[in-house]
C-alpha cells in the first residue's frame, strides 16, 4: 500500500498527475485492499468521535432525528455531493442505498477520498522481493521484521512526496498562508495503524462546506474544493515537470525547498518558522558577500531586501515600494535577531506590535507570501533568478 491521504473528497475517473517527473498521482482508492484500508481509518475516526471531545473529532448525525429539524446530516451532505458530481437522477438512485446505513456512509467516503499514489515499477519489484524473503522466514519458523532505513526506496519516495506536496501547497495559496498542506497523512503507517491525529471528521466537515459553496472566487476555496485546487496547480505542476526535464532546475532544489517548508510549521514555533521560510528566499536570491569589503550582515540584508523587492514588484507593481521595503527589512531584522539569539530585541519588537494591536503571525504570513512569489518566479524564470543571485 503506497499512498497518502489528502484532505479532499472527489470522484476521480482516472488518475490525475501531481507530477510526471516524480510519478505522483491523485486518485481514489481502487482495489479492495485500498478501499478496506481507508474504510477502517474512517470507521475508527467515527468511533473516536463518540468518545473524545473536541471540534476536530465531532461528526455529523447520520440522519435527522426530528422531521423538519434544521440540521446537517451525512445523508444530506452525500446527496448534495452526488447531485453536484453525478446529477439529480443518479443521486436519487445512489442515495437509496445510503439512507440509514452507517456502513454505506463510510463506504461512500472510503471510495471517494482523494489519495496520492507514489508507487513505481522499482517499488513493485522491491515489494515482491520483501514478500518472498518474509515467506522464506515463515517457512523456516523465524520471526522478525524488516527495518527500512531512510534511503530505502519506500521511505525515500514517501519523503519526496511529502516535501513536494508542501512546495505545491505553498504555490497554490491565494490568501494568508500559515503552512497549510493538502496531505493529511505523513506516512503509510499512520493509515495502517490509525493515528488519532488524522482528523477525518473535521475534513469531512470542510468538504461539506466546499460542496455547498458555489463561489470559486473565494480565496480559501483552493483548500477545500478539489476542482479549484487542480485548476490552480495544474499549470504550475506542468511547468515544474518541464523545467525539471530540461534540467533548468534540479530535483535537489525542489525537494530541499519542500523539506524546509515541511519543517517550518508556524503552529509549533513562529520564530523557527520565520528563520526557515526566510532561508528559502536567501538560498534562491543571496550570495555570500566579500568579507574584506562588506559588513556581511548588512550586505545580506541589502541583498535580501533589494532582490526580493524587485521580484515582488514585478509580480505586483501596485504595491507601495516604501511599504514593501519596510516589511522586508523588518522580516530580515527579526530573522537575524532570532538566529543570533538577540531575544531582548525580539521581545522589544513584540511589545511594540502589541501596542499597535498587531501580531507576529502577520509577519509569518507576509514571509510566506514573499517566498511564494520568489519561488514561483524561480520556477518560471530560473535564469533571471540566478542572475539576481549572482549580481
pLDDT tens digit sequence for 23-74:
999 999 999 999 999 999 999 888 888 777 776 777 777 776 656 666 778 8
- CA angle (265, 267, 271) in 5-degree steps: 75
Alpha helices by DSSP H, the chain: 32-49, 74-86, 88-96, 102-112, 121-140, 153-172, 188-193, 200-212, 226-245, 251-264, 270-285, 296-315, 321-339, 343-355, 360-380, 382-390
Lowest mean pLDDT among 57-71, 309-323, 346-360, 373-387: 57-71
Mean pLDDT of 336-354: 96
- What's the grid cell of residue 188? 503509510
Q: Residue 216 above 80 pLDDT? A: no
d(CA 302, CA 260): 23
User: Domain extents for the chain?
Assistant: 3-140+148-241, 269-390
pLDDT > 70 in the chain, percent:
93
The H or E element that residue 145 is part of is none
Instruction: Say whether 358 sits in a helix, a strand or coil.
Output: coil
pLDDT of residue 290: 57
Q: Residue 283 above 80 pLDDT? A: yes
Give the CA distances from residue 246 to residues 18, 132, 238, 239, 355, in Å, rounded to whole numbers and listed in that order. 18, 39, 12, 11, 51
Residue 318 phi/psi, 5-degree rounding, is -80, -15
Considering only CA atoms, which of 185, 152, 144, 148 is closest in space to residue 45?
185
Mean pLDDT of 80-88: 90
Q: What's the pLDDT tens digit per position in 111-152?
A: 999 999 999 999 999 989 988 888 888 888 877 777 888 899
Do the Cβ atoms of 255 and 156 come closer than 8 Å? no
Do the Cβ atoms of 234 and 89 come closer than 8 Å? no
Lowest mean pLDDT among 101-105, 297-301, 347-351: 297-301
What is the pTM for the complete model shown? 0.91
Question: Which is higher by pLDDT, 100 or 321?
Answer: 321
Do the Cβ atoms of 355 and 349 come closer than 8 Å? no
Work out the pLDDT band at 183, boundaries 50, 70, 90: very high
Amino acid at each position: 500500500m503506497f499512498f497518502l491521504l489528502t484532505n479532499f473528497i472527489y470522484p476521480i475517473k482516472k488518475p490525475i498527475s501531481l507530477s510526471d517527473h516524480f510519478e505522483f498521482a491523485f486518485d481514489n482508492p481502487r482495489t479492495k485492499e485500498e478501499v478496506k484500508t481507508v474504510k477502517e481509518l474512517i470507521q475508527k475516526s467515527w468511533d473516536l468521535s463518540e468518545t473524545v471531545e473536541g471540534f476536530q473529532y465531532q461528526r455529523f448525525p447520520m440522519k435527522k432525528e426530528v422531521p423538519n429539524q434544521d440540521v446537517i446530516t451525512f445523508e444530506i451532505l452525500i446527496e448534495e455531493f452526488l447531485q453536484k458530481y453525478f446529477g439529480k437522477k443518479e443521486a436519487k438512485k445512489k442515495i437509496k442505498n445510503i439512507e440509514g446505513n452507517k456502513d454505506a456512509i463510510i463506504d461512500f467516503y472510503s471510495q471517494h477520498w482523494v489519495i496520492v499514489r507514489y508507487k513505481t515499477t522499482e517499488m513493485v519489484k522491491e515489494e515482491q522481493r520483501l514478500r518472498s524473503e518474509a515467506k522464506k522466514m515463515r517457512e523456516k519458523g523465524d520471526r522478525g521484521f524488516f527495518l527500512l532505513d531512510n534511503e530505502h526506496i519506500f521511505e525515500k519516495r514517501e519523503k519526496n512526496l511529502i516535501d513536494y506536496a508542501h512546495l505545491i501547497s505553498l504555490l497554490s495559496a491565494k490568501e494568508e498562508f500559515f503552512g497549510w498542506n493538502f496531505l493529511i497523512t505523513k506516512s503509510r503507517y499512520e493509515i495502517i495503524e490509525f493515528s488519532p491525529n488524522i482528523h477525518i471528521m473535521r475534513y469531512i466537515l470542510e468538504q461539506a462546506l466546499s460542496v455547498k459553496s458555489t463561489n470559486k472566487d473565494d480565496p480559501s476555496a483552493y483548500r477545500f474544493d478539489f476542482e479549484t485546487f487542480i485548476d490552480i496547480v495544474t499549470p504550475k505542476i506542468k511547468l515544474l515537470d518541464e523545467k525539471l526535464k530540461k534540467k533548468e532546475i534540479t530535483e535537489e532544489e525542489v525537494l530541499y525547498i519542500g523539506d524546509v517548508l515541511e519543517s517550518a510549521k508556524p503552529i509549533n514555533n513562529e520564530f523557527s518558522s520565520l528563520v526557515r521560510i526566510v532561508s528559502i528566499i536567501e538560498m534562491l536570491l543571496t550570495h555570500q558577500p566579500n568579507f574584506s569589503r562588506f559588513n556581511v550582515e548588512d550586505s545580506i540584508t541589502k541583498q535580501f531586501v533589494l532582490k526580493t523587492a524587485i521580484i515582488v514588484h514585478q509580480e505586483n507593481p501596485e504595491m507601495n515600494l516604501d511599504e514593501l521595503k519596510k516589511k522586508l527589512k523588518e522580516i530580515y531584522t527579526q530573522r537575524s535577531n532570532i538566529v543570533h539569539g538577540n531575544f531582548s530585541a525580539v521581545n522589544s519588537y513584540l511589545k511594540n506590535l502589541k501596542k499597535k494591536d498587531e501580531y507576529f503571525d502577520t509577519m509569518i504570513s507576509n514571509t510566506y507570501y514573499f517566498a511564494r512569489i520568489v519561488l514561483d518566479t524561480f520556477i518560471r524564470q530560473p535564469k533571471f533568478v540566478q542572475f539576481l543571485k549572482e549580481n
